[in-house]
Structure 1
Amino acid sequence: MAPPTKSSKQATRGAKQIVEENASTLQFYRYMIFGAFVTYLVIMSILFEFTTKTTLLTSLAGMVFTASYQFMSYMARAKYMESGQLLDSGVDLNMEGGIAEHVKDLIILTSGVLVLSLISNYFWFLWLLAPLRALWMLWVNIISPWIFAEPPAPTEKDEKKQRKLERKMARPMYKSH
């Protein structure tokens, strides 16, 4: 067993390592996209016929793949100085909780839906999981905390104003003679 380190923090990764990991991540998802798409097209061409519905859904899957991959490659684009030295490594695609994680999930979902739709066209309905998850994240992270937020605690100034208002209300409004 390795001896414990002085600090319990995770070691930070260097910019070059992030660039290399981003390239391997992009390559993995590129292979996943091509594998699912080519498998689908070959089997559909041999065993089944393309209807208007399947052509439309296949085109939509292709657009989702293209947009997702282009977005990830744009995020991971590294910037170099003229001398060739790395200036910015781009966004880490393997960062937990980042937007790239959701884009990777969309690629995985679309690949699964595409391949499973060879079994039955009802598997296309699994694509509805993406907007449902987006609505769930919107509710949990934005809407619910905003609606159910505790009112701000009164400050000392507010308390003084409240006491003054209560004293004013306790006094009679008119004077009797």
Structure 2
Amino acid sequence: MNTRRTLALTAYILAIAAANWLTTRYGIVPTGFGLATTAGTYAAGAALLLRDVVQDYAGTAWVFIGIAAGGALTAVMSPALALASVTAFVLAELFDWGVYTPLRSRGWARAALLSGIVGAIVDTAVFLRLAPFPFEWPVFWGQLVGKALWATLLPVLVVVAIRKVRRGPVSRHPVGA
């Protein structure tokens, strides 16, 4: 496996484990505007975006290997949370894959953004129903905003901006422009 694949997979596994560790350690935290979220929401949102990177660099099979590895690390901390997490990630990743794969040929940003939002909805709904704490609507909406907006939209916009800067200014051909 090349360096990019290894880095993508490692980051994905660590994002899953970090999301679950933060949730185990800190539980539900306020996010403002009357909303709350699990403490690991932003890391879980990053995992949804990293899933697309792992698919691009390593292939779909490695996505599920990453989920299993992240789930195994979580099981050491909290078996009940691991069950909720793995179930939510597998279902969210299947939906994410179903959106990302056909859209990928039309551009990474569109595919990553739309698949991340779909994945965030599925992950949030499943995880909060299975996790070992009570389901509350303010937590659902807080987690969804955290994953879809801050952990998906913002990183996609940053990547798009970096790509534009790296390409440099658009220059016109001096003849016939």
Higher relative CO (Cα under 8 Å, sequence separation at least 6) belongs to 2
Q: Which has the higher helix share?
A: 2
Larger radius of gyration: 1
